[in-house]
Structure 1
Amino acid sequence: MAAFLHFLLLLCSFAYNFNTSQSKHTHPQQKGAIFHVTKDLSTLQYVTQIHHGTPLQPTNLVIDLGGPFLWLGCASDSGSSSSRTLISHSSIKCLSANPNTLKSKSSKCETFPQNRITQMATQGDLAEDIIALPFVNVSKTTVDSLFLFSCAPKLLLKGLASGARGMLGLGRSRVSVASQIAAAFGSKPQFILCLSSSNGVVLHDNGEYGSYFVSGVSDSLTYTPLVTKVDSPHEYFINLKSIRVNGKQLSLNYKEGLGGIKLSTVVPYSTMESSVYSVFVKAYEQAAVAMNMTRVDSVAPFGLCFGSKNIDGIRVGSRAPVVDLGLQSEMVKWRIHGRNSMVQVSDEVMCLGFLDGGLEQKTSIVLGAHQLEDTPLHFDLGASMLGFSYSTLMDQNTCTDLGLGFGFKDSM
C-alpha cells in the first residue's frame, strides 16, 4: 500500500507539472522572471512585490527562502479577486501541495502556512489565481499565469514588515514559487538570489545566466551539494566540515546530527548552536585582538563588539578576521569577510553578526540574511547544487548593482 501511494504521488506530480506546463506555448519566449527585493530596515526583512488577481493588485510579500509555498492573508476577502478559485481536496493540485490530503475530510484543500519569523502556524486553504510575472527580455513585458498559494487568516501577518500581505516561499517543494515558475514556463528548476542592504533581486532564468550577471561573477561560482533533511525537506542545507578564523581551524566536537549549515532569509543574523558558538567567539576575539581591534561593551542582541573608530575599511568591509566555512571538503569553502561578519551598530561600535542559537538548535549554523548579502547564490534544484560567490565585493560590485542593472523600480 505504501509503495502504491508513493507511485501515485509521483504520477500525480508528473501530471500536475505536465498540465501547468501546457501554457508555456501561449507565452512569448522569455529569458527570465525577476522579483525586485528591498530590505525593510525596521524589521530587517526582505520584501518583494507581485501583482495578482482580477483586477491585478500590487501585493508586498516577505521573501522566505525555505518557505514551501506562497501564502497570503486573504481568508476574509475571498471576493476581492474574480479569478480566484479554491482547490478541491480530491484534486491533483491538492495532492501536489499536501501529500497527506487523502486523510482530510474537508471538501477544500487544507494547507498549513507558517509565519516563519514569528513561528506562528495555522490552517489555510489552497487557492489558485493569476499572478503577473515581470520578465527580462527586450520587450520588458509581464506574463500572466495561474499560481497556487495558501489563503491564510490575516492574524498570520503579525510580525511581518509593514504593508506585507504574506510570504513568498522559494523552498524545495512542488508548489514553491520557484518550482511553479519552472513548471509553468518549461524552464529549469533553478533561480538566483542576490540580497542587498538596499535593492536586490530574485531571478528565475531559462538557463542562460551568464548574460545577466555582473561581468565575471557567473564564472566565479563555487558549487556545493544541497543536503536534504527529513524533518525540513523544503529548506536549504549544505555540509559543514570545518570552521577557520584567520586560517586557524577550530576544534569542534559536533553533537550527533550537527555538522550542517541552513540558509535563511528570515533570520537576520547567523546563529550557532551553543557549543559551536562558544568556541567560535573565543577564537574570533583572539584573532581580532591580534589585529589590534579593541573589545567594547556588548550591544544587544550581539555578544561580541569592538570599537570601530580607528579600524580601516577595505573593499570587502571593515578589516576584521576572515571566517572560512569548509563545506564538503577543505578545497570548497565559503569565505566571510568583514562586510558580512560584522554589523555596524553605531558610529563607534561594530559587532560580530553571529548569535548564540541555544543548545536546541538542530544545525551547527543557520546562515542568516546579513551573511548572505552581496553574495550571488545560484540554487540549481534539478542538480541539487548551490553555487555561491563573494567576488562581487572583491570586484567592488554589489547585489544592488545587479538590481539596478535590471531596472529596479521603486514601486513598493
Structure 2
Amino acid sequence: MSLPLTALPGVVPPYAHWVEPMAAVTVSQGLGQAATTTLVRVLLVVLWAWLDLAGLEPHFLLNLPPFSFHRKFAICLASNGVIFFGDGPYNFLPNVQYTSQSLTFTPLFINPVSTASASTQGEPSAEYFIGVTSIKIDDKTVPLNSTLLTIDGEGNGGTKISTVNPYTVVESSIFKAVTETFISEAAARNITRVDSVAPFDVCFSTENVLSTRLGYGVPTISLVLQNENVTWSIFGANSVVQVSDDVLCLGLVNGGSNPRTSIVIGGYQLENNLLQFDLATSRLGFSSLLFGRQTTCSNFNFTSIA
C-alpha cells in the first residue's frame, strides 16, 4: 500500500519543511464502519511512521488493535514524496521497478538509551540507527576516530537517520576530517573553494563543476557499513546544495564536539533515495540515488498494480 506523504489533521510530519503543503486527509461521513476503521488504522500507521522518524516514541499507539500490515514501511522523499506500507514492489515512472531484492541491506540498530526529547529513564531509543564503520571520499578513507561511530554504554555516538534535520549533522572532529578530505579531492578536480554561506562552512564556485546524471560532479562520499562491499554512496545531488547561481556548498553542518549522536543523516541526503525499514528483521534497505535509473521519488506510479 502507498500513500502520498501528506499532512494528517493536526499533525505536522517531521519532513514538513521539505514536503509541499497538501490537503489534510478527512474521513467521509458516507463510509461504512468497516471502511472507516480501516482508514483510521491506515492514518495511525502513517502517524506511527512519522513519529518514529521524528525520534518521538509513539507508545500511546501500542494498545490499539493490531494492523494488518507487515512490520515494514518505506519512504521516498522529494518535494512531494511518498510513504509505503508493507512490501514492494515499488513502481516509478517511466517503467522503473524496485523490489526488496534490488535493494542493498544493512542492519538497523537500537540505541540502548533513548535520544528522544521526551522519554522514560532506561528506555531504549525508538529512532533508527545504522552501523557506519568508516567514511570514504572518492575511495580515499577519511582518517577519523572510529570509536565515535559506535554507540557507547551511555547511548552516545553512532549514526542515525532523521527527517527532522534538514541537513546531515556531524560531530566536529569527523566534520573536520570529512571536509578537509572533500576540499582536497575537489581541488584535484580544479573546483575552487569560496567564502562560506550559513549554515554551511564549506562552499565552492560552480565554475569547473560539471553537471552529471547524479547531480553536480563533485567527490562522492561513501558511508561504509557492515563491510567494505556495503556502502551508501552520496552523490552530488545529495552532497552539495546550490545556494546561488555561482556557489555550491557541502550540505553538512558542524554538530559540535559533544553531540549525543555522532552522525545524523538529514533530509537533504535522503532525498530521491528509496529507504525500506524492515522492522521485523531489523534491516534497512536502500536504493542509492534514483537518478541513476532516470527517475525520482516524485515519479511514483500510483496507478500501477503490483
Which category of TM-score, normalised to the shorter sequence, fits these structures? 0.7 to 0.9
Cα shift at 1:295 = 0.5
For the residues of structure 1 that align with 2:73 and 2:180, how far apart are their CA atoms? 37
Runs of 4+ with deviation above 6 angstroms? none
Give the % identical residues: 38
- In the alignment, is residue 210 of structure 1 matched against residue 89 of structure 2? yes
Larger Rg: 1
Amino acid at match of 1:341: S
Aligned to 1:234: 126
Cα shift at 1:309 = 3.9
Aligned to 1:349: 247
Q: Tell whether the 8 Å contact from 2:2 to 2:82 is kept in structure 1 after alignment.
A: no
For the residues of structure 2 that align with 1:146 and 1:301, how far apart are their CA atoms? 40
Q: Tell whether the 8 Å contact from 2:167 to 2:251 is kept in structure 1 after alignment.
A: yes
Q: Tell whether the 8 Å contact from 2:91 to 2:97 is kept in structure 1 after alignment.
A: no
Aligned to 2:160: 262
For the residues of structure 2 that align with 1:180 and 1:188, how far apart are their CA atoms? 17
Q: Tell whether the 8 Å contact from 2:211 to 2:217 is kept in structure 1 after alignment.
A: yes
CA pair 269-176 structure 1, distance change in 2 beyond 3 A: farther
CA pair 187-213 structure 1, distance change in 2 beyond 3 A: farther
CA pair 352-330 structure 1, distance change in 2 beyond 3 A: same
Q: Tell whether the 8 Å contact from 2:214 to 2:289 is kept in structure 1 after alignment.
A: no
Return the structure number with greater relative CO, CA threshold 8 A, min gap 6: 2
1:391-402 alignment runs, 5 A limit? 391-402=289-300
Amino acid at match of 1:308: T
Aligned to 2:31: none
- In the alignment, is residue 201 of structure 1 matched against residue 82 of structure 2? yes
Q: Tell whether the 8 Å contact from 1:131 to 1:145 is kept in structure 2 after alignment.
A: no
For the residues of structure 2 that align with 1:253 and 1:63, how far apart are their CA atoms? 31
Select the residue among 55, 69, 72 that pairs with 1:187.
Answer: 69
Amino acid at match of 2:277: F
What secondary structure does 1:145 align onto?
helix
What secondary structure does 2:40 align onto?
strand
For the residues of structure 2 that align with 1:286 and 1:355, how far apart are their CA atoms? 18
For the residues of structure 1 that align with 2:287 and 2:233, how far apart are their CA atoms? 9
Cα shift at 1:59 = 4.5
For the residues of structure 1 that align with 2:72 and 2:283, how far apart are their CA atoms? 10
Select the residue among 54, 59, 63 that pairs with 2:14.
Answer: 63
Cα shift at 1:363 = 2.7
RMSD, aligned α-carbons:
3.1
For the residues of structure 2 that align with 1:63 and 1:292, how far apart are their CA atoms? 38
Amino acid at match of 2:161: L
Question: What residue ranges of structure 2 are gaps of 5+ in the alignment?
Answer: 17-24, 29-35, 115-124
Q: Tell whether the 8 Å contact from 2:73 to 2:276 is kept in structure 1 after alignment.
A: yes
Q: Tell whether the 8 Å contact from 2:52 to 2:58 is kept in structure 1 after alignment.
A: no
For the residues of structure 2 that align with 1:390 and 1:192, how far apart are their CA atoms? 14
For normalisation by structure 2, the TM-score amounts to 0.77
Structure with more strand by fraction: 1
Select the residue among 230, 247, 251 that pairs with 2:143.
Answer: 251
CA pair 273-186 structure 1, distance change in 2 beyond 3 A: same
For the residues of structure 2 that align with 1:62 and 1:348, how far apart are their CA atoms? 33
Q: Tell whether the 8 Å contact from 1:273 to 1:361 is kept in structure 2 after alignment.
A: yes
Aligned to 1:223: 105
Aligned to 1:116: none
CA pair 217-259 structure 1, distance change in 2 beyond 3 A: farther
Give CA deviations for 1:277-311 in whole Å, capped at 9, x if unaligned: 11111000000000110111100110000011442
What secondary structure does 2:7 align onto?
strand
Aligned to 1:145: 40
Cα shift at 1:252 = 1.3
Amino acid at match of 1:226: L
For the residues of structure 1 that align with 2:92 and 2:60, how far apart are their CA atoms? 24
Q: Tell whether the 8 Å contact from 1:262 to 1:365 is kept in structure 2 after alignment.
A: yes
Aligned to 1:318: 216
What secondary structure does 1:301 align onto?
coil
Cα shift at 1:316 = 0.7
Question: For this pair of structures, how many residues does the alignment match?
Answer: 264
Aligned to 2:117: none
For the residues of structure 1 that align with 2:200 and 2:232, how far apart are their CA atoms? 22
CA pair 391-281 structure 1, distance change in 2 beyond 3 A: closer
Question: What residue ranges of structure 1 are gaps of 5+ in the alignment?
Answer: 1-31, 38-47, 51-57, 66-129, 134-140, 150-166, 408-412
1:270-289 alignment runs, 5 A limit? 270-289=168-187
For the residues of structure 1 that align with 2:285 and 2:84, how far apart are their CA atoms? 14
Q: Tell whether the 8 Å contact from 1:145 to 1:184 is kept in structure 2 after alignment.
A: no
Q: Tell whether the 8 Å contact from 1:295 to 1:305 is kept in structure 2 after alignment.
A: yes
Give CA deviations for 1:158-177 in whole Å, capped at 9, x if unaligned: xxxxxxxxx94135956487
For the residues of structure 1 that align with 2:139 and 2:63, how far apart are their CA atoms? 42
